[in-house]
Amino acid sequence: MSSAILSLGPTQIEKVKGEINNRVILITGGTGSFGSHLMRTLLTDFNPAKVVVFSRDELKQSVLRDELYSSPEKQFGRTSQNMDQILRFFLGDVRDFDRLMEAFSGVDVIIHASALKQVPALEYNPFEAIKTNVMGANNVIRAAVGCGVKKMIALSTDKAAAPVNLYGATKLCQDKLMVAANHMYQKTRIGVVRYGNVFASRGSVVPVFLKQAQLGTVTITDERMTRFTISLAEGVSFSLNCLSALKGGEIFIPKLASYRITTVANVFAKKYGASVTTVGIRPGEKLHEVMVPRDEALNTVEFSEYFVIMPAFESFKFHRQALLAEGATLCKHGFEYESSGNDNFISEDGIVAQLSEICR
């Protein structure tokens, strides 16, 4: 499943070090799955001047702090005193612009991972999603520009490509805001990272199937369903690589493996002797994931390990020449990057191997 862009090799690490070392890094949504893994990566592989967690849940911050301070010498090769110097925890909400201005003061790089993302909950509470994912993202942009932040990467989702649910629609709005900010402000360079489901993350099918299989019946919504897959470590590595490649206004999309939902369901059903039943597609759910829609193909270039959707603004035409000079090729009219059309599907053995690695 992995490719060069998804793992930090020596060359990539040196480039990322130039962006991270001796800089102040802030992570919105820093207590989530992505944010906490990114924290550990920064503390282990890099030497930031400071790492700031910005989130609204004091309990999660307390739990994360305890985990990071548990044997820091063994985890990160750092003393508790050094951890005190590097780590900062800010309580706050991206809906609160004034608090963002306080938190972003003196920050060099922002990784924006804060979002409401549970699809069924957001279908029932639509404006709450808009407040956080759209208005909150705009607050983050304005505060970053106002505080002189040099670079920002915002996490997106495959659901932002041709969205059919409110979550995807709000993330599409976020992406548009992030891209347009480069044209509007021209002070802070901002890019977007878009990828599919993080395998076995909270809210994914893996913990659901595990629980269902132990009870005797695994439910799938449609036998034809496919999904892209990426591990948490690969998502973090890809995001850091994109930070070092960022010129401003790009949407970065990794090339990933796909899986059939029946493949994952069968793995759990066989392990626990459970049955598999089909219950029908839920509201807001797609049969297949799309990460580069056909309508965006003309603005998309392809590298060997990833795609880049370029800004459509006339003032950003230099992106095309710069990326082509780096070895990219233009995608053809009508191209679409979709999970069912992938030439790399994971087998049941591959799913088992991924689960074993996660458990390890």
User: Annotated catalytic sites, by residue?
Assistant: 159
Q: Which two tokens stand for residue 208?
A: 């659901």
Q: Which of 203, 204, 177, 205 has its CA nearest to residue 191?
A: 177
Q: Phi/psi zone of residue 188: left (φ > 0), alpha (ψ -120 to 50 degrees), beta?
A: beta
Q: Who's near 31: CB < 8 A, 6+ residues apart?
A: 53, 55, 57, 60, 61, 63, 64
Q: Phi/psi zone of residue 210: left (φ > 0), alpha (ψ -120 to 50 degrees), beta?
A: alpha
Question: In this structure, are strands 24-28 and 50-55 parallel, antiparallel, or unpaired?
Answer: parallel
What pairs with residue 254 in β-bridges? 306
DSSP 48-111: -SEEEEEES-HHHHHHHHHHHTSSHHHHHS--HHHHHHHEEEEE--TT-HHHHHHHHTT--EEE
Q: Which of 301, 305, 295 has its CA nearest to residue 330?
A: 301
Q: Which two tokens stand for residue 85?
A: 């110097």
